[in-house]
Every structure is written in structure tokens, then in C-alpha cells.
Amino acid sequence: MENDMSRRVVAEFFGTLWLVLGGCGAAVLAAGFPNLGIGFLGVAFAFGLTVLTMAYAVGHISGGHFNPAVTVGLWSAGRCPARYVIPYIVAQVIGAIIAAFILWLIASGKTGWVMGGFASNGYGDLSPGKYSLGSCFIIEIVMTFFFLFVIIGSTSKGAAAGFAGIPIGLALTLIHLISIPVTNTSVNPARSTGPALFAGGEYIGQLWLFWIAPIIGAVVAGLLGRWLHEPVQLVSTTVVEERRVTP
């Protein structure tokens, strides 16, 4: 049992590290690169591809959450045993912080580089489009709700087995296409925490929103999913075991 938990935690650590390094790395290093910049469309796909690739790489080990809101949402849906919640979240946050550190080491090696927001999330003056606190709070709840709605539905009994990583990755891409201008897209408290710790100042002060709003959206989706779909245990974004969870 202890060895199984260790494997799960390591999988969540590396999965989250890759998500933050790939997604935020695309934003910091490639989005605005002269002439060849990938723009926010490329950043959106980068985030989706990180989840898609890691869902198949380690999803069968830990469930492929890579996101504290996903872990809490799946727990509320009866898809994640309570004993996994805290270890998963700790591993996810540590993975995100280390990813941000790696990204800082790379980015700071460029002559004349200015950190700026460092792909952090924000509202008000720190919102890319200067959206209000209320707008940012609402979009983070709604986007996270639908992310969990897709995750739960695509891994439920009757869904195409083994293909859940594809709609989940595409859902995250779509979410970024919608919400990058509003909050720079979080829907993931760990993803928000890593870059904010390096950007510092007001970005750290605004982290509360990017923990509370995604978790609210995830829990609502989880409770709805518990009623909407037959109860099954989610141990992977690609593999579903058809049995009830014992918390």
C-alpha cells in the first residue's frame, strides 16, 4: 500500500511539473518570440498537450489529476478516495514550484530578460485584459466546472475506454482559448502557485482567488457528476474501474 501511494505521488509530481513547465514555458519563452511567436493560441495548445501526454504516460498510475481542483472535484464525485487528496495536492504544488524554478533558470539566461508576470494569473490590473475581480472569479468557477464535467463524463461507465485523455486535453485547450485574456487561465491552483511565487508581490496576494474559485467549480461539477453518472472509481484518466469507492 505504501509503495502504491509513493508511485501515485511521484506520478502526480511529474505530471504537474510537465504541465507547468510546458504550458507556462510556452507562455514565457515562446508566445511573444519575435516573428515566430506562438501567441496565446499556441499557449492554449501547449497546456492541452501537457495534460494529454501525461494522461497516457502516468494516468494509469495516479489517475492523472495534476491539479488540486481536479483531485478535490473527483473526491466530491466519489471518484477519488479521501486518503489520496492531501498527498496528491502536496505533490502537485511541489511539482509546480519546481517547474517554475526550472523555467526561471532557463528564462533568466537570456540577455535583457524581464520577468514581468512570469505567466502568473491575476485579476484587475493583473488581468491580461484588465477584467474585474468578479469577472475573473466567475470565469474560473465556470471553466473549472466544465473541465471537471468533461473529465467525469469521459471517464464514466459507457464512455469510450482508453480515449479520455483526448477530450480532457482538448477541453483544457478550449478553456485557455476562452479565458487567457481574462485571468491568463488558471483552473489549477498548483499551476497558479508556482509562477506566482517567482513573480512575487501582488501576484502572490491574488493567489487566493485561483485556489478558491477553481475548487468551488470542481466541487459543484463533482456533486453533479455523482448524480448524473453511475458511481465508478476513477483511478486514471484513461482507465476506469467499475466499482464504488471506499473513502
pLDDT tens-digit map of 203-246:
999 999 999 999 999 999 999 999 998 665 444 544 433 333 43
Q: For the segment 52-100, what is each residue's pLDDT rounded down to a tens digit? A: 999 999 999 999 999 999 999 999 999 999 999 999 999 999 999 999 9
Beta bridge partners of 234: 240
Distance CA 122, CA 100 (A): 17
Asked if 221 and 146 touch (Cβ cutoff 8 Å), the reply is yes
In a domain, 52, yes or no: yes
In a domain, 81, yes or no: yes
Binning pLDDT at 50, 70 and 90, where does residue 41 land? Answer: very high
How high is the pLDDT of residue 231? 62
In a domain, 60, yes or no: yes
What residue type is 202 in one-letter code? E
> Measuring CA to CA, which residue among 142, 170, 143 is closest to residue 154?
170
Tell me the CA distances in angstroms from 245 to 29, 38, 78, 154, 220, one per residue in order.
42, 43, 6, 18, 19
In a domain, 247, yes or no: no
The number of domains in the chain is 1
Is residue 101 over pLDDT 80? yes
Q: For the segment 104-137, what is each residue's pLDDT rounded down to a tens digit? A: 999 999 999 999 999 999 999 999 999 999 999 9
Is residue 143 over pLDDT 70? yes
Binning pLDDT at 50, 70 and 90, where does residue 160 land? Answer: confident
How high is the pLDDT of residue 3? 83
Asked if 96 and 120 touch (Cβ cutoff 8 Å), the reply is no
Contacts of 152 (CB under 8 A, 6+ apart): 73, 74, 77, 79, 221, 222, 225, 228, 229, 234
Is residue 2 over pLDDT 50? yes
How high is the pLDDT of residue 9? 98
Reading the block at residue 125, the C-alpha cell is 490590473
Is residue 188 over pLDDT 80? yes
- pTM of the full structure: 0.91
In a domain, 85, yes or no: yes
In a domain, 15, yes or no: yes
Tell me, what CATH number does 76's domain have? 1.20.1080.10
Q: Domain limits at 220?
A: 2-241
In a domain, 155, yes or no: yes
In a domain, 246, yes or no: no
